[in-house]
Amino acid sequence: MTYSFSNSSKFLLIFFIIFTTLLVGCRSKVPDLEAIKAVKEVMAKRQIAIHTKDIEMYKEVIFPGFMDGGVTSDAVIEDMRQIFERYEKIEFTYQRSTVDMDMNSARMVGQISYIGTGMEKKVYYRERTIFRRVDGKWTISAGIQIGML
C-alpha cells in the first residue's frame, strides 16, 4: 500500500513541523521573571545581612551544600563571621549583569566590592555567583570567595 500526499498536505505538514519546532524553541527562551526576581532578592538580602552584620540572615542566603573549589558553606559563613568581628562597619556593593536561568539553577556575574571601617581602599573583584532552587527557595550555592578582607 502506497500513500501519497498532495502538495498542500506536504506544505501543511512542513509548516506544522517548523511551527512546533519554533514554538518549543521560543518557549525555552522565555525568562522566568519570578525566578529572576527571587535571585535578585537573594543578593539584596545578602547585602542587607552584610551591612547590618546579621550572621543569621547571611546564613539564610547560603545553600547548606555550598561547594566551590573545596570551599564549603561553613567556611563561607565563618569567613563572614570573622569579617563582622574585624570591622565595625562594612559596605558591600554589587553591580550585576543579567541573570542566566536554567530550571533550578541560575548564574549572575557582577562586580563586587567590600570596604570595612579603617580600610584605605575598597576590595573589588568579579564574582560569578551560582544560585540553586530547592523546594522553591533560592540560595547561593557557589561563587563567593573567602579571605577577601
The helix (H) or strand (E) run that includes residue 62 is none
> Domain for residue 111, yes or no?
yes
**47 in Cβ contact with 92 (< 8 Å):** yes
> Domain for residue 125, yes or no?
yes
Residues 108-117: pLDDT tens digits?
Answer: 999 999 999 9
Using 50, 70 and 90 to split pLDDT, how confident is the model at 48?
Answer: very high
What predicted TM-score, i.e. pTM, was given to this entire model?
0.78
CATH code, 101: 3.10.450.50
Say if residue 113 is exposed, middle or buried (CB neighbours under 10 Å; 0-12, 13-18, 19+). middle
> Domain for residue 24, yes or no?
no
Query: What is the per-residue pLDDT for 27?
Result: 46
> Domain for residue 104, yes or no?
yes
> Domain for residue 9, yes or no?
no
> Domain for residue 70, yes or no?
yes
Query: CA end-to-end span of the chain, whole Å?
Result: 78
Cβ-count burial 40-57 (b if 16+ within 10 Å, e if not): eebbebbeebbeebebee
Domain count, the chain: 1
Average pLDDT over residues 49-75: 97
Percent pLDDT > 70 in the chain is 79
The whole domain housing 90 covers: 32-142
Length, in residues, of the chain: 149
**141 in Cβ contact with 131 (< 8 Å):** yes
Residues 7-45: pLDDT tens digits?
Answer: 666 555 565 566 555 555 544 455 688 999 999 999 999
